[in-house]
């Protein structure tokens, strides 16, 4: 008997990293999963995104927990595809209860790059992290409302969505701007959906052991950027959280144990945002 028996969750960026971990964790609690991932690279981003093979691996990990998963390729920047994919999943599984808007990128410029590159990084990070989050919730809310059973929307922000950390370049500033803006979406939705018992919260991870944080460019940036050193210095004695540490918070927010928690910015940050 799990805390999410019979429920259905929609997760973006599900092929690897935190998205995969959320899928496996929610499935272990009894949820079926509808998941999407781009499974392709974005040229302005400095590290590879997930692959179809990784998406297939997530599907089999969910199935190993005895749950069903529909995993599809979709770019969260493309609203029509996100909506069509989710609609098809809900038609198959019959309901929607939980939404994890998790897909994200963090493009960086380590040195001076042509302004065209920087502008492309800004456009892409806002497109994926911010517009992608809007597209995800916009596609999901009609299903949650129609279900009449309430629901839980969990938006993945970052410590960079709570404090001023992002450097000077378009990619870093776009990341910080997008993660702060996700809090604005959360607060408006929490107010507007409370009457339907649909809860909306953000999670704010510190650095997590995934490709986004552990790739050569990000490691170099963290070592050299004035913002970057402290980025990996949490007050608690841990430099990188594991994806499952974020999944624990997501599973809690998704569950009835959090049934009156909405409108909350929840740091999962080993004390990072509270430090002096
Ligand atoms: N890793 C960290 O240190 C860290 C810290 C704070 C917040 N976050 C946030 O956590 C979330 C998950 O990131 P992660 O750490 O698992 O990194 P990750 O790079 O391993 O996973 C991101 C996933 O999103 C997918 N994705 C990227 N663009 C997409 C698009 N346009 N459409 C659909 N899918 C897309 C990728 O293919 C990948 O599977 C992101 O929103 C990220 O900003 C990460």
C-alpha 31 to ligand 1 mean position (Å): 21
- Give the catalytic positions in this structure: 175
C-alpha 64 to ligand 1 mean position (Å): 23
C-alpha 148 to ligand 1 mean position (Å): 30
Whole-angstrom distance, CA of residue 47 vs CA of residue 212? 8
Minimum-distance ligand 1 atom for the alpha carbon of 19 = 16
> For position 216, what pLDDT does the model report?
85
Which residue's alpha carbon is nearest to atom 23 within ligand 1?
A: 13
> For position 229, what pLDDT does the model report?
54
Whole-angstrom distance, CA of residue 110 vs CA of residue 236? 28
* Residue of 11, 209, 210 to test ligand 1 pocket, by largest number of atoms within 8 Å of CB: 210
CA within 13 Å, CB half, 114: 4
Outline where DSSP puts E strands in 16-145.
Answer: 32-37, 69-73, 98-101
- Comparing CA positions, the residue from 213, 140, 216, 229 lying closest to residue 175 is 213
Outline where DSSP puts E strands in the chain.
Answer: 8-12, 32-37, 69-73, 98-101, 151-156, 198-205, 265-268
What is the tens place of the pLDDT at every residue in 110-128? 778 899 999 999 999 999 9
Q: pTM for this structure?
A: 0.97
Average per-residue pLDDT for the chain = 95
Pocket of ligand 1 (CB under 6 A): 12-13, 15-19, 36-38, 49-50, 75-77, 102-106, 128, 132, 156, 158, 205, 207-208, 210-213
SS3 23: helix
DSSP β-ladder status, 198-205 and 32-37 = unpaired
Q: Which residue's structure tokens are 């302005």? A: 44
> For position 38, what pLDDT does the model report?
98
> For position 228, what pLDDT does the model report?
55
Q: What mean pLDDT do residues 144-152 have?
A: 98
What is the tens place of the pLDDT at every residue in 185-209? 999 999 999 999 999 999 999 999 9
Whole-angstrom distance, CA of residue 118 vs CA of residue 229? 22
Whole-angstrom distance, CA of residue 66 vs CA of residue 72? 19
C-alpha 56 to ligand 1 mean position (Å): 17
């Amino acid at each position: 008997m799990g805390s999410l028996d019979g429920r259905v969750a929609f997760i973006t960026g599900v092929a690897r990293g935190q998205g995969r971990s959320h899928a496996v964790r929610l499935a272990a609690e009894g949820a079926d999963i509808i998941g999407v991932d781009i499974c392709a690279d974005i040229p302005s981003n400095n590290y590879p995104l997930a692959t179809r093979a990784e998406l297939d691996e997530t599907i089999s990990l969910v199935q190993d927990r005895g749950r069903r998963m529909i995993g599809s390729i979709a770019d969260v920047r493309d609203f029509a595809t996100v909506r069509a994919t989710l609609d098809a999943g809900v038609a198959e599984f019959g309901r929607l209860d939980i939404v994890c808007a998790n897909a994200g990128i963090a493009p960086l410029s380590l040195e001076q790059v042509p302004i065209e590159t920087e502008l492309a990084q800004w456009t892409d990070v806002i497109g994926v992290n911010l517009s992608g989050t809007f597209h995800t919730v916009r596609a999901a809310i009609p299903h949650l409302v129609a279900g009449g059973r309430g629901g839980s929307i969990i938006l993945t922000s970052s410590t960079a969505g709570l404090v001023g950390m992002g450097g000077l370049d378009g990619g870093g500033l776009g990341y910080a701007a997008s993660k702060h803006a996700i809090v604005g979406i959360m607060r408006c939705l929490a107010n507007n959906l409370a009457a339907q018992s649909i809860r909306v919260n953000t999670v704010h991870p510190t650095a997590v052991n995934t490709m986004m944080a552990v790739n050569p460019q990000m490691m170099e940036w963290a070592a050299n950027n004035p913002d970057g050193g402290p980025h990996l210095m949490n007050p608690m004695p841990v430099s990188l959280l594991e994806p499952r540490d974020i999944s624990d918070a997501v599973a809690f927010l998704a569950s009835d144990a959090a049934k009156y928690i909405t409108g909350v910015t929840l740091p999962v940050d080993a004390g990072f945002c509270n430090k002096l």
